[in-house]
Amino acid sequence: MRRLLVLPLVAIFVLCTSAAAMACGGLIGPNGNVNLLKTTTLAGYADGVEHYVTSFSFAGGGGSFGSLVPLPGIPTKVERGGDWTLQRLIRETQPPVLAFARSDSLAAAGAEKAEVILETTIDALDLTVLKGGGDQVGEWAKENGFSLPPDAPEVLDFYASRSPIFLAAKFDADAAAARGQNIGEGTPIHLSIPTDNPWVPLRILALGKQAQEQIQADVYLLTTKEPAILPLAKGLSLSRSEQGSDSLIADLRSDKGMEWIPASGMWLSYLRVDSSAGDLDYDLAVDVEGEAPSKIDAGIDPVPAAVPTDPPAPAGLPMWMLAGVSALVAGIGLTLGRKVQRRAAA
């Protein structure tokens, strides 16, 4: 299991009964339409804990929507995020921009049965931390009224093979409207996840998208030293890498729940995702020591298959029979090979 940590992003998918509202990263409506909104996420890391902050935006409409966020570990805390952290980061790196940071989505997931580890409600968001394999999480999603796109089984297995923890966020647009939540207004979420290194799921941003659709997202990293990042290619670029300014750190530390940020010495990395969905087949792996991020965490290398501790000996099949079958298979191979050679010679 990976040591990743945390993060981020996004999400996607699901939809349910609704007609229109949406939230972030990529939602698929019942009519198959996909709404694209830019996602902004902060993955901060200090004292062995990843602090993942993102926002689920209300885009109008009614009904409920959902999204799933793969996590590198079980969060010790899921709480409302500060009101200005993401906006302040955007202002730091994109000064003229007045737009709100908007982010992701909502959602949910679940097959034998996913284990529900934590449930909480923040504003109009119902958040559930799940533990389970791809099928289990998919089954949970179905049972909870979500409709998953056709690439969901593969994507959920991709993540579950590395970490079986998912955050399902279900956004109740009717509740949001009843609360007076305005269109475009986001609900920031802050997860604290103990982990060895920060990690941000990016591939899931492409869930439910056509291969040629463009995916855009901003990812901020705050680490105690300059991190090593993988990969930097195919639509992922490092736009800023610098010591966090005193004013930025002071502003962030003054936001709700952000006192975990050390008062000085934090390194700010700003990464931009601008990729077609078809190319976005990786995640963001980080090594906070500036060494070598894991290719497995980045989705570049597959997770090694588990090595059976006790090689299974087929019940009732004596070794001599196995040897005979092996010889038979080898013999067939040889015969076929000779036939091929003869045909080639002919």
Partner 1 sequence: MPRPKLALLLMVLAVAVSACAARAASGEEVTVTINHSRFHPGELTFSRGDTVTFVLVNDDPIDHEFILGDEEVQDRHEFGTEAHHDAIPTEVSLPAGDTVRTTVTFDKAGELIIGCHLPTHYAYGMKAEVTVKG
Q: Contact positions toward partner 1, by CB under 8 A?
A: 28, 30-32, 110-111, 134-139, 141-142, 148-154, 156-157, 208, 210, 329, 332-334, 336-337, 340
Could you tell me the smallest distance in angstroms from the CB atom of residue 252 to partner 1?
39
Between 28 and 169, whose beta carbon lies closer to partner 1? 28
* Sign of the four-CA dihedral 85, 90, 91, 97: negative
Could you tell me the smallest distance in angstroms from the CB atom of residue 30 to partner 1?
8
> How, if at all, do strands 77-80 and 186-194 pair?
antiparallel
Between 37 and 137, whose beta carbon lies closer to partner 1? 137
Which 8-state DSSP code applies to residue 48? T
Could you tell me the smallest distance in angstroms from the CB atom of residue 326 to partner 1?
12
What six digits make up the tokens of 246? 């005193």
Between 99 and 336, whose beta carbon lies closer to partner 1? 336
What six digits make up the tokens of 332? 């067939």
Could you tell me the smallest distance in angstroms from the CB atom of residue 14 to partner 1?
11
Between 30 and 318, whose beta carbon lies closer to partner 1? 30
Angle between helices 85-93 and 246-253 (to 10 degrees): 170
Could you tell me the smallest distance in angstroms from the CB atom of residue 281 to partner 1?
14
What six digits make up the tokens of 218? 């901003």
Distance in angstroms (rounded) separating the CA atoms of residues 198 and 58: 27
Between 292 and 336, whose beta carbon lies closer to partner 1? 336
Between 210 and 264, whose beta carbon lies closer to partner 1? 210
Distance in angstroms (rounded) separating the CA atoms of residues 108 and 295: 27
Could you tell me the smallest distance in angstroms from the CB atom of residue 170 to partner 1?
17
- Let me know: does 105 contact 62? Beta carbons within 8 Å: no
Between 76 and 210, whose beta carbon lies closer to partner 1? 210
- Let me know: does 176 contact 58? Beta carbons within 8 Å: yes
Could you tell me the smallest distance in angstroms from the CB atom of residue 140 to partner 1?
9
Tell me the CA distances in angstroms from 240 to 113, 140, 196, 200, 283, one per residue in order.
43, 39, 23, 17, 19
Q: DSSP readout, 59-128? A: -S-SSEEEEEEEESS--SEEEEPPSSHHHHHHHHHSTT--SPP------------PEEEEEEEETTEEEE
Between 44 and 110, whose beta carbon lies closer to partner 1? 110
Could you tell me the smallest distance in angstroms from the CB atom of residue 283 to partner 1?
18
Q: Residue 237 in 3-state DSSP? A: strand
